[in-house]
């Protein structure tokens, strides 16, 4: 593929706080598209708004995406030949392009003070700085040239505004939404540069960087759609129409219940994370929950997010990253917002638990078991997790589902006792002890057959003795197959638990 037509996408977050889960989806769709097309993925940090800069946010973004397996070819912390990739390090570059627009008559200096602008807005609340009003304002279009030169020489504060021509129709040929038309009349003469901080605004820096970094496709959230006509006009003003990127605006992530955009408050209210990793606010110290710390597998988060706005057109729900890359296309992305079904997120985690290698899960569980003072080994935990993972969505649910594999129940659940421990139970459990004495505990199926034969011979029925057996071993009525449990905990432990139960419950 020729260099000029190579697919190059960028994820361009502003480090204004933790990356929202919607931002993660934007990064993911960029990644899936780029890799599907054999192209490059760039990480650009858009930190030109120093007032909104939050320390730690950039590192958080990089760590989150790396945890999720979204990889970059170029960018902040990755390097590359189009750097620097942090906009605050590109000041000199932008200034040059601002000057170019002014020289071409596509932009102008504006000297209106904040209070002048404010009083305009008070006079007419719908005030817009544009072709109809710029003639009444203090700018290089209304002031004599010498006056402008004098003000600049003096170091007066100014902004540079984009001169938008009225009566133009701007067409966006969006890869998801199709044709979208805007009238240039609705746009205002956007500020492109501020002398106060010697920095460009988002629009100018974004367009200049996409051009210089040879970005071929701009894939971003729907909330940026209103900026796109302005960006298209900027491309034209620079004369870059031939290399203008294609645009795709991703649908909003919606509240799980009701209408509107998913917010952090929905997460607090309905108890699910909206950030990939835990975030501690550097000012307030407030902690926001993250998917990582809540026990999600990164693969599950990816799978979940991939299907919020895209569908494969088949019944398939479980996808590896490589499968997503192979199947992704904008043709299968929806325009409509995607409801954030966090219960489905848990379901995905459960599916990944079932698919995961038991030994790998056991390795992840060992530190917590050690912290509880449990002496065990990897083989044993591997066999236990294989038995109980069908009941778990998260690894942190292991102990509540499996403690009885490591220690005898300390007490017996009252309700279960009332329901399951019958008058005949002590006698039956004593008999069961005798039968199990003669078994080597190597084969749960053979053990069960023996128990069955014993029940049949004595006309006990299976229910009453087996329920009492479970109560003695687990302490309540839950758990996987009882003979699978006792094969794991072994003969001595099983008999001890049976005898203790008979003694305690009588």
Residues taking part in catalysis: 264
Within 13 A of 45's CA, how many CA atoms are on the CB side? 27
Nearer Cβ to ligand GLU (13/200): 13
Separation between Cα atoms, residue 384 and residue 378, nearest integer Å: 10
Q: Is 375 left (phi over 0), alpha (psi -120 to 50) or beta?
A: beta
Separation between Cα atoms, residue 21 and residue 211, nearest integer Å: 27
Nearer Cβ to ligand GLU (218/402): 218
273 contacts ligand GLU (rule: CB under 6 A): no
Alpha helices in 143-283 (DSSP H): 145-154, 202-212, 228-238, 264-270
Nearer Cβ to ligand GLU (44/292): 44
Minimum gap (Å) between residue 231 Cβ and ligand GLU = 8
Q: Which of 53, 78, 127, 224 binds ligand GLU (CB under 6 A)?
A: 224
The SS3 call for residue 292 is coil
| Nearest alpha-carbon partner for 505 in 383, 416, 387, 438 | 416
CA 240 to chain centroid: 34
206 contacts ligand GLU (rule: CB under 6 A): yes
If binding means CB under 6 A, how many residues of this protein chain bind ligand GLU? Answer: 7
Find the part of the chain contacting ligand GLU (CB under 6 A) among 12-20, 187-195, 396-404, 438-446: 12-20
Separation between Cα atoms, residue 351 and residue 221, nearest integer Å: 29
Separation between Cα atoms, residue 183 and residue 171, nearest integer Å: 9
The SS3 call for residue 319 is coil
Find the part of the chain contacting ligand GLU (CB under 6 A) among 10-18, 243-251, 266-274, 486-494: 10-18
210: tokens are: 């996409």
Q: Which of 8, 9, 14, 20 binds ligand GLU (CB under 6 A)?
A: 14
58 contacts ligand GLU (rule: CB under 6 A): no
| Nearest alpha-carbon partner for 357 in 299, 283, 416, 308 | 299
Binding mask 155-194 for ligand GLU (x = CB under 6 A): ----------------------------------------
The SS3 call for residue 42 is strand
Q: Which of 7, 9, 46, 130 binds ligand GLU (CB under 6 A)?
A: 46
12 contacts ligand GLU (rule: CB under 6 A): yes
Minimum gap (Å) between residue 168 Cβ and ligand GLU = 22
Nearer Cβ to ligand GLU (134/220): 220
Nearer Cβ to ligand GLU (20/134): 20
Binding-site ranges for ligand GLU (CB under 6 A): 12-14, 46, 206, 220, 224
């Amino acid at each position: 593929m020729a260099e000029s037509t190579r697919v190059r996408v960028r994820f361009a977050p502003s480090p204004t706080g933790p990356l929202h889960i919607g931002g993660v989806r934007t990064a993911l769709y960029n990644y899936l598209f780029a890799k599907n097309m054999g192209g490059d993925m760039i990480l650009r940090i858009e930190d030109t708004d120093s007032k909104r800069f939050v320390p730690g946010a950039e590192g958080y973004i990089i760590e989150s995406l790396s945890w999720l397996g979204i990889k970059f070819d170029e960018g902040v912390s990755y390097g590359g030949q189009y750097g620097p990739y942090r906009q605050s390090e590109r000041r000199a570059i932008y200034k040059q392009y601002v000057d170019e627009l002014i020289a071409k008559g596509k932009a102008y200096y504006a000297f209106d003070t904040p209070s002048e602008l404010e009083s305009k807005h008070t006079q007419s609340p719908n005030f817009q700085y544009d072709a109809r009003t710029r003639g009444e304002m203090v700018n290089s279009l209304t002031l004599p040239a010498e006056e402008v030169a004098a003000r600049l020489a003096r170091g007066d504060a100014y902004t540079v505004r984009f001169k938008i021509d009225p009566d133009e129709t701007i067409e966006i040929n969006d890869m998801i939404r199709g044709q979208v038309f805007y009238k240039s009349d609705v746009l205002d003469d956007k500020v492109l540069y501020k002398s106060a901080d010697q920095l460009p605004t988002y629009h100018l820096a974004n367009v200049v960087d996409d051009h210089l970094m040879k970005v071929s496709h701009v894939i971003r959230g729907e909330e940026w759609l209103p900026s796109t006509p302005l960006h298209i006009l900027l491309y034209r003003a620079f004369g870059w129409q031939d290399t203008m990127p294609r645009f795709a605006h991703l649908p909003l992530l919606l509240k799980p219940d009701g209408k509107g955009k998913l917010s952090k408050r929905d997460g607090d209210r309905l108890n699910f994370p909206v950030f990939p990793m835990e975030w501690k606010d550097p000012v307030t110290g407030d902690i926001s929950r993250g998917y990582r710390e809540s026990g999600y597998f990164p693969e599950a988060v990816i799978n979940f997010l991939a299907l919020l706005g895209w569908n494969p057109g088949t019944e398939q729900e479980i996808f590896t990253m490589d499968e997503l890359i192979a199947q992704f296309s904008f043709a299968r992305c929806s325009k409509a917002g995607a409801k954030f079904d966090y219960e489905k997120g848990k379901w995905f985690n459960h599916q990944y638990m079932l698919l995961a290698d038991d030994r790998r899960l056991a390795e992840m569980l060992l530190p917590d078991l050690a912290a509880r003072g449990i002496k065990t080994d990897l083989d044993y935990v591997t066999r236990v997790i294989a038995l109980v993972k069908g009941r778990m969505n998260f690894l942190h649910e292991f102990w509540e589902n499996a403690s009885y594999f490591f220690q005898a129940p300390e007490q017996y659940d009252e309700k279960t006792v009332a329901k399951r421990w019958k008058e005949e139970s002590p006698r039956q459990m004593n008999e069961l002890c005798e039968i199990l004495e003669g078994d080597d505990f190597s084969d749960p199926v053979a053990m069960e057959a023996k128990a069955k034969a014993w029940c049949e011979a004595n006309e006990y029925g299976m229910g009453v003795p087996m329920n009492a057996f479970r109560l003695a071993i687990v302490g309540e009525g839950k758990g996987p197959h009882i003979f699978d449990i006792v094969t794991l905990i072994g003969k001595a432990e099983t008999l001890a638990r049976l005898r203790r139960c008979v003694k305690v419950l009588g």
